Structure 1
C-alpha cells in the first residue's frame, strides 16, 4: 500500500507487509512438541512478559469454539476459556473493528445484498445519477451506464445531475487523524464513490538538481490540487526524504525532500478532495466518449423526487464478495461504506423511486429499463432525512450485536473501519462476536471473508510453513503502537478455538509485535488433550 510518508504516521495498513511470521525463530516455527491446556498460560505469559513489552498493554482471550448451537449462554460461557489476560479491558482495536461491522452487515443486509447506482429521467432531456455508496464502482461501470443510455437512444443531455445525497452527514470521520484523511486508506465516503475515491501520484528523479517529476494516474483527479513542488533530485546514493503535506480545507499539495538521481520512482496514494465532482467529470467524459453530448452538469444532494423513471443501472457484487475485500484486504473505504449502508435496514422502501412511474419520456424515446425482482430495492429515510448515515450505522451495529448476544458495554465504536483511535473494544467483545457468528446461518460466509494464514489477504505471507498455515482464519489490525489479531483456529489435534489478541501502547516495531502474536498462535497449534 502507498502510505503518506511523514514521521510518526499512525498508519492503518490495507494490506500485509511482505514479511514472514516476523520475529519467529526457527525453534518456534518448527517446534511440534505438544503442550497441555494447563501449560498454555505459563507459555503465553513468557511471551508477553518479555522486557521489551514491559510498557505495552496486552489483552488476550482464547476460548473453545462451542458446538452447542442452540444454547447462546453455552456459546459464550466463560468455562470454555483457555486463557485470559485483561480480556474485559478496553483496547484500541485498529482494523479488528471490521469484524463487528461486517458481522452486522451480514446479519442485517444478507449475503446477497447489492448496492445499486441508477440513472433517472428527470424530464426535458435531463438525467439524474443516484449513487448509493457502492465502494466497488469504477470507470468500467460508468461506461456500462453510458452504453445502456446509448442503446436506448440517448444522444443529448440538457442537464446532467449527479446526486450525492443518499448518505447523510460528514464524508470523513471527525475523529480520524489529519495524516489519515489525506491518504488513500482514509478516503472520503460519499454516495458517489468512484475508483475508491483515491488516486496514485508518482515522483520520479530527473537530472541532478532538478525538481522531481510529478505524474498522476488520473488527470481529472490531478486538477483538484495545486502542487507546490519544492523537491529536488539529489546525488546518486542519497537517502530518500520525500514528504507530502497539505492544509485541511485547502487544495494545496506541498512536495518536499529529495530522491537520488539513480533512485526508483516513489508512489503515494492520495484521497480525492472532492469525490462528487470527480465522479461528475468522469461520467461526463464517459458519456461524451460514447457520443452523448452533455450541455450542462452539476452536483446536488437532494435525492430527487418520486416518480422519476430509471433508464440505466449497475449493481455492486453481492455483499458476500464485498466482505472479502473488506476483511481480507482490510479495506477501510469498503468498511465505512457498508457501515453507512446499514441505514437501509432503518429505511422504508419507496417504490416510486424504483421505476414504478409509468410516465412516458418524449425526450429520450427509449423503453423502460426492466428491474428484476432480485435487484436491490431503493430506500429513502423513513423518519428523519437529516440523520447522519454513519451514526445510524453505528447504532445498528450496537443493536444487532446486542441481539446476537454481545455485551454492549464491552465496546465503544467511533467508526466502522478501525482508523479512529477513539474506538475502544475488549477482547471479550471480539471473541463473543466470533463465537456467536459461528452459530448463525451466515457463519460460512463470515468466516470465508477472513484472511487465511499463508494463503490469502493480510495473512498471505504470515505463518508460511507453520502448523497454522491453512488452519487459521483471522482479522489483522495495525497502526502505530497497536497490533491485533482475532479469529478462528482449527487446532489439528485439539478442539477448534476462537481468540482475540491485542497489544496497545507499545514502542516496539510492527515486526516485533506481530512476531510475539504469531508465537502465541503457534503455541495454540501445539495444544493436545492431556
Structure 2
C-alpha cells in the first residue's frame, strides 16, 4: 500500500496536563443536583456550548434517572465511542481472544540452511513490534534457517482501505491516526522524543527506534526559549517524500515531549524491519515483497500471539489507543465470516448486533468508526449509560470496568480528580476533539453504591482544558451526592 499524495501536512499540538481540581467533600442532596449542574454549564464561557448528560444509579435498572439533559439526543462522542467497541469485542470475541501472526513455508531448510520462501500472514496484531519480530526469527533459526530467498508479506486479512474514509487528513497523518493493516509494526507509526537544550538552540530530536533515522529527512525549525516563554510543538510530514518537519519551542529545563507520525506504507515498513531484524538474528533475507492473496494449505513454521483481549481492551480504554480500537472493530467484522469488501462496515454491523443483544437500544447511536476519531459518529448519553449498565451486569463486568482509567491514578485520567473527593472513585472513558469533550463511566458513591454517567459537550469554542474542568466539577458532585 502506497499513498500517492503530494505535500499533505498535518499538525499535532502538545498540551500540558490539567491542574488538579479542588472541591469540598461535603456533598449535596439529589434535589440540589440540577441547580448545581446549571451553575456550571450556564457560566458565561460555557452557555453557548451544547451539553448532553445522563446520570443513573446502577441499582435502579434504568427506571429512575437522577438527571437527564438531552440524554436521548445525538452528540459527537470522540473517544467515548471506544466504550461501545470494547464492550462488543468482549461480548463477541471473548476475553481469551488473541491475534496470531503466522509464518508459512517449507518445513525445513536445505542442507545449506536456505529456505526458498516464507509467507508472513498478519491478522492485525496491534502489539507487534521488535520483540515479536525477533521471536519469529528465533523460531526459524531453531529450524536451521540461515537464509531466505524471498519473504512475502500477506496483508489482505482486513478487506477494504487501511485508511478510514471518515477521518480528516490531519488525523490520518498523525501517529494517533495511523493506517490499520493486517501486518502492523510498532503501531504503524514513527516515534520521536524532543528535548530542549540551551536557550536559543534548536530542540534535539531522538528517534525511539534509531533504525528509522536513515529513512527520514528532518527539517528542524524549533528553538529553546526562556523559562517563562510559551511552549508549543507542530509536527508535519510530507507524503511526497520521507520528510518530517518539526516547528515550535520548549522552555529550557522543561521535560521532553514525545511525538509520533504515521508511516506512509505500513507493509513496506514491516518488511524493511523484518529484513533488518532477521539479519541481526543471523538470517539473511535476499528479497522482500507483498501480496494480498489468501494462504491455503501451507505449513505454519513460526508464529506469535498478541496479548489476550482483556489486555488489548485495557490499552484501548485506559490509554485511548485508536489503532487498537480500530483493529478490534475490524476483527469483529472478520469474525462474521461474511463475504464483504469492508471490514469496517462488517465490524460496525457486528458491533450493533452484539450491543443489541446486551440490551442497548440500536436507535440511540450511529458509529462511523471504532475509535471515535470520526466526526460522523453520533451517540446519545443514554446509549453510553445503557452500555455501562449492560456490561456491569454481564459476566465481563469487572474486566470491562477495570479497563477504564481510574481518576487521579491511571491512563487518561491520571492527572484528573487529584485532591478531590472523586480521587480513586471514578472509572471513566475520556474523549476529546476540537470543540468536543466527553466523559462516561462509573462513580463510586457511599449512598448509591455506583452511579452511571455520561457527560458530553459539543459545539464549543472553548479549550479542552476548560471543558474538562467543567465536566470534572460535575463528576465530583456525583462522588458525594446524597439522597437526603
TM-score (norm 1): 0.81
Deviation at 1:211, TM superposition (A): 7.5
**Post-superposition shift, 1:246?**
3.7
For the structure 1 residues 149 and 252, does the alpha-carbon distance in structure 2 shift closer, same or farther, using more than 3 Å as the test? closer
Q: How many angstroms does 1:233 deviate by?
A: 5.4
Structure 1 151/485 Cα, relative in aligned 2: closer, same or farther at 3 Å? same
Displacement of 1:243 after TM fit? 3.6
Structure 2: distance between partners of 1:324 and 1:9: 28
1:179-218 → structure 2 map (5 Å cutoff):
179-202=170-193, 215-218=206-209
1:121 aligned onto 2:86: no
* Equivalence map 1:124-143=2 (5 Å): 125-143=116-134
The correspondence for 1:157, drawn from 148, 154, 169, is: 148
Moved more, 453-462 or 125-134: 453-462
Residue 511 of structure 1 deviates from its aligned partner by: 2.0
- Pairing of 1:21-40 with structure 2 (within 5 A): 21=20, 24=21, 26=22, 29-33=23-27, 35-40=28-33
User: CA, structure 1 residues 301+110, in 2 after alignment: closer, same or farther (shift >3 Å)?
Assistant: same
Q: Give 1:466's aligned residue.
A: 420
Q: In structure 2, list runs of 5 or more residues that go unmatched.
A: 1-7, 108-114
How far the C-alpha of 1:41 sits from its partner, in A, is 1.4
Q: Partners in 1 of 2:10 and 2:271 — Cα distance? A: 36
- 2:328 corresponds to: 338
Query: How many residue pairs were aligned?
Result: 468
CA distance in 1, matches of 2:213, 2:379: 39
1:99 and 2:99 correspond: no
- Report the alpha carbon displacement of residue 393 of structure 1 after superposing the two structures with TM: 0.9
Deviates more, 1:399-408 or 1:499-508: 399-408
Contact kept, 8 Å, 2:417 with 2:472, in 1: the verdict is yes
Identify if the C-alpha distance between structure 1 residues 513 and 261 changes in structure 2 by more than 3 Å, giving closer, same or farther. closer
In 1, Cα distance between equivalents of 2:202 and 2:32: 61
Are the structure 2 counterparts of residues 458 and 213 from structure 1 closer, same or farther at C-alpha, using a change threshold of 3 Å? closer
Change (3 A) 1:86 1:260: closer
* Residue in 1 that maps onto 2:345: 391
Q: How many Å separate the matches in 2 of 1:260 and 1:328?
A: 28
Mapped contact 1:224–1:251 kept (Cα < 8 A): no
Q: Distance in 1 between matches of 2:138 and 2:342?
A: 34
Equivalences for 1:369-448 in 2 at 5 Å? 383-384=338-339, 386-448=340-402
What is aligned with 1:45? 38
Task: Go from structure 1 to structure 2 and tell me whether the alpha carbon gap of 1:495 and 1:145 turns closer, same or farther (over 3 Å shift).
Answer: same
- Shift in CA distance, 214/515, structure 1 to aligned 2, threshold 3 Å: closer
2:138 to 117, 128, 147: 147
- Is the Cα contact below 8 Å between 2:216 and 2:244 reproduced in 1? no
Q: Give the Cα separation in 1 of the matches to 2:210 and 2:16.
A: 29
Q: Is the 8 A contact 1:251 1:273 kept in 2?
A: no
Distance 1:517 1:207 in 2: 39
TM-aligned CA distance change 1:243 to 1:329, over 3 Å? closer
Describe the shift of the 1:261–1:413 C-alpha distance in structure 2 as closer, same or farther (beyond 3 A).
closer
Give me the whole-angstrom Cα distance separating, in 2, the residues matched to 1:10 and 1:86.
32
Range moving further from structure 2, 215-224 or 101-110: 215-224
* Partner secondary structure for residue 399 of structure 1: helix
Work out which of the residue numbers 302, 309, 320 in structure 1 matches 2:299: 309
Tell me which residue corresponds to 2:92.
108
User: In 2, Cα distance between the equivalents of 1:55 and 1:414?
Assistant: 26
Give the drift of 1:203: 5.6
Equivalent runs, 1:287-306 vs 2, <5 Å: 287-304=278-295, 306=296
Query: Which residues in structure 2 correspond to 1:64-103 (within 5 Å)?
Result: 64-66=57-59, 75=61, 77=62, 79-103=63-87
DSSP-derived class of the 1:107 partner: helix
Preserved CA contact (<8 Å) 2:189 2:262? yes
CA contact (8 A) 1:240 1:257 kept: no
1:355 — aligned with what?
none
Matches within 5 A, 1:174-323: 174-202=165-193, 215-222=206-213, 225-227=216-218, 229=219, 231=221, 243-247=234-238, 249-253=239-243, 255=245, 257=247, 259=249, 267-304=258-295, 306-323=296-313
Q: Over aligned residue pairs, what C-alpha RMSD do you find?
A: 2.9
Which residue number corresponds to residue 368 of structure 1?
Answer: none
The corresponding residue for 2:4 is none
Structure 1 residues without counterparts, runs of 5 or longer: 1-5, 68-74, 348-382
C-alpha separation in 1, matches of 2:356 and 2:257: 46
Write the distance in 2 (CA, Å) between the matches of 1:232 and 1:404: 51
CA contact (8 A) 2:49 2:457 kept: yes
Partner of 1:369: none
Q: Give me the whole-angstrom Cα distance separating, in 2, the residues matched to 1:38 and 1:235.
A: 51
Distance 1:396 1:223, change over 3 A: farther
* Aligned counterparts of 2:117 and 2:9: Cα–Cα separation in 1: 49
